[in-house]
């Protein structure tokens, strides 16, 4: 029996409508967890609810086995095309037991196997799949070239080492290999587990799906941050006044910026202060600003420096454009001058971030790490249980390695043998 697979069938990024396709024996059952299943081939508007939360309103189409694109039972969800929604839906789908993200070309392959496509049609689709694969490859490369890449490289080394140690005790039992490799294997597994868990909790995918991107507005006291926030939000969300230090806590406003779900953060003005309450506000502002996806620095003058420095891609503008002239790109929350341009810059910066962490890729990586953690934990508990079988530890380790394929590259038996032969003098 084949797995049930899902994928975003429409192009990634923001669009009016995004289409999810689910195919396989559990497709209908999975849909039933989100909404009342409509009759086959009848478009129906449904509210998708996952674990008590409404994800979106979607146009839902159900196809029965034998009468779908793949020939299998399948479902199509047409949801709103925002990144936040597509993220939320793919995350929810991946949490349904038995569902997994489709590999490149998998829908087409199933259609072909079930006799739903002819050769010409497959050839037409092949280009599409090729580009999809290429995009996935590029995204994986991007992940691997960054900071996470160095970690992935270390994981790969540790996985090969742990696998090799275990395999050496199995395949070279009669040779001069260390009999007890347990301490080293355990240390390697523990290191991997700690890293992977940190990485999993660090991926803010889940948080973003709920909250969208966070954009913090920063500046000195009385720079006009709250006024700008209100202008962006189109309502009086924050109290504004002439008094410096009016905003003390972090004020959050959720809004849709050009189709992107964004939480704007208005923060306390950054300055050294003796006021205890304000000091807490400033510390909070710094902390939230640093963890935000994007920072907008609202400066009084171009040379001004604040408690934290802008990062790459952050936006730096001068405020109170109404009070100064001839400063290009200056904004004013009061008059609305430059606000549209600022919105354009914010959404461009966020779209760039969104593209560099493609929804499915990111999610795929997170799922891979979760599966790997499960396998490593199983291996760990086996090693610690007296009298348990080393071949099962090896099987768990292989599972952990396979799960991490997308992150660390394929690890083949030859890699293990290389490690074994270079570490131990094999050959009696």
Partner 1 sequence: MFHVKHFDVVVIGGGHAGAEAAAASARIGARTALISMRKDRIGVMSCNPAIGGLGKGHLVREIDALDGIMGLAADSAGIQFRLLNRRKGPAVQGPRTQADRKLYRDAIQDLLGTQSGLDVIEGEVVDLVQDKAGRVTGVELLDGSVLDATAVVLTAGTFLNGVIHIGDQRRSGGREGDVASIRLGQRLSGFGLKRGRLKTGTPPRLDGRTIEWRGLDEQPGDENPVMLSFLNKAPAVRQVACGITHTNERTHDIVRANLGRSAMYGGHIEGVGPRYCPSIEDKVVRFADKSGHQIFLEPEGLDDHTIYPNGISTSLPAEVQNEYVRSIRGLENVVILQPGYAIEYDYFDPSELHSDLQSQIPGLYFAGQINGTTGYEEAAAQGLVAGANAAAAALGRDPILFSRADSYIGVMLDDLRSRGVTEPYRMFTSRAEFRLHLRADNADQRLTPLGLTAGLVGRARAAHFQEKMSRLADANDILSARSCTPLELQSVGLAVSQNGARRSVLEVIASYDIDWSHVLHLVPDAVMIDTETKEQVWRDALYAQYLDRQRADAEALQRNELVKIPANLNFAELPGLSNELAAKLTRHRPENLAEAERIEGMTPAALLLILAHCRKAEPARAVAR
Contacts with partner 1, residue ranges (CB under 8 A)? 3, 63, 67-69, 103-106, 108-109, 112-119, 121-123, 125-127, 129-130, 133, 167, 170-176, 389-392, 394-395, 398-399, 413, 416-417, 421, 425-428
Minimum separation from the CB atom of position 132 to partner 1 (A): 8
State which residue, 187 or 413, has the beta carbon closest to partner 1: 413
Strand ordering across the sheet containing 17-23: 44-50, 53-63, 74-80, 17-23, 4-8, 99-101
State which residue, 52 or 115, has the beta carbon closest to partner 1: 115
Q: Choose among 110, 104, 109: nearest CA to 131.
A: 104
State which residue, 173 or 283, has the beta carbon closest to partner 1: 173
Contacts 24+ apart (CB under 8 A), 36-40: 37/62, 38/62, 40/64, 40/67
To the nearest 10°, the Cα dihedral for 306, 308, 311, 313?
-50
CB-facing half-sphere around the CA of 34: CA atoms within 13 A: 31
Strand ordering across the sheet containing 315-318: 251-257, 260-266, 213-219, 294-299, 315-318
Minimum separation from the CB atom of position 46 to partner 1 (A): 21
Minimum separation from the CB atom of position 103 to partner 1 (A): 6
State which residue, 163 or 219, has the beta carbon closest to partner 1: 163
Minimum separation from the CB atom of position 65 to partner 1 (A): 12
Minimum separation from the CB atom of position 155 to partner 1 (A): 20
Per-residue b or e along 74-95, where b marks 16 or more CB atoms closer than 10 Å to that residue's CB: bbbbbbbbbbbbbbbbbbbbbe
**102: region left, alpha or beta (phi > 0 left; psi from -120 to 50 alpha):** beta
Minimum separation from the CB atom of position 389 to partner 1 (A): 4
Sign of CA dihedral 132, 138, 142, 143: positive
State which residue, 43 or 277, has the beta carbon closest to partner 1: 43
State which residue, 130 or 190, has the beta carbon closest to partner 1: 130
Quote the DSSP letter at residue 409.
Answer: -
State which residue, 289 or 420, has the beta carbon closest to partner 1: 420
Minimum separation from the CB atom of position 391 to partner 1 (A): 5
């Amino acid at each position: 029996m084949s797995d049930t697979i899902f994928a975003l069938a429409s192009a990634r990024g923001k669009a009016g409508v995004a289409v999810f396709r689910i195919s396989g024996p559990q497709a209908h059952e999975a849909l039933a967890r989100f909404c009342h299943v409509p009759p086959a081939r009848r478009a129906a508007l449904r509210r998708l609810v996952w674990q008590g939360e409404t994800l979106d309103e979607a146009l839902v189409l159900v196809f029965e086995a034998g009468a779908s694109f793949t020939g299998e039972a399948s479902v199509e969800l047409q949801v709103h095309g925002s990144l936040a929604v597509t993220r939320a839906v793919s995350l929810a789908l991946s949490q349904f037991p038995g569902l997994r993200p489709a590999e490149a070309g998998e829908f087409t392959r199933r259609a072909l196997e079930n006799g739903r496509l002819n050769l010409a049609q497959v050839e037409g689709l092949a280009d599409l799949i090729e580009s999809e694969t290429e995009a996935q490859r590029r995204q994986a490369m991007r992940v691997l070239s960054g900071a996470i890449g160095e970690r992935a490289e270390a994981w790969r080394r540790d996985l090969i080492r742990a696998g090799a140690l275990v395999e050496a005790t199995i395949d070279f039992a009669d040779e001069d290999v260390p009999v007890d490799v347990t301490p080293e294997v355990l240390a390697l597994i523990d290191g991997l587990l700690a890293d992977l868990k940190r990485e999993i909790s660090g991926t803010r995918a889940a948080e973003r799906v709920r909250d969208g991107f966070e954009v913090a507005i920063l500046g000195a006291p009385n720079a006009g941050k709250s006024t700008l926030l209100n202008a962006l939000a189109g309502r009086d969300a924050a109290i504004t006044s002439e008094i410096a230090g009016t905003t003390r806590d972090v004020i959050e406003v959720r809004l849709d910026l050009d189709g992107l779900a964004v939480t704007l953060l208005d923060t306390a003005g950054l300055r050294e202060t003796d006021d205890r309450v304000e000091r807490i506000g400033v510390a909070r502002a710094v902390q939230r600003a640093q963890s935000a996806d994007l920072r907008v620095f609202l400066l009084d003058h171009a040379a001004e420096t604040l408690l934290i420095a802008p990062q790459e891609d952050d936006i730096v503008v001068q405020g109170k454009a109404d009070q100064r002239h001839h400063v290009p790109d200056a904004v004013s929350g009061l008059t609305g001058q430059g606000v549209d341009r600022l919105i354009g810059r914010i959404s461009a910066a966020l779209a760039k971030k969104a593209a560099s962490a493609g929804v499915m890729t990111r999610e795929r990586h997170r799922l891979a790490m979760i599966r790997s953690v499960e396998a490593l934990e199983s291996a760990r508990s086996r090693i610690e249980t007296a009298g348990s079988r080393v071949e099962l530890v090896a099987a768990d380790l292989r599972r952990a390695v396979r799960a991490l394929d997308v992150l660390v590259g394929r690890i083949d038996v030859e890699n293990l043998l290389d490690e074994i032969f270079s570490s131990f003098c094999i050959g009696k």
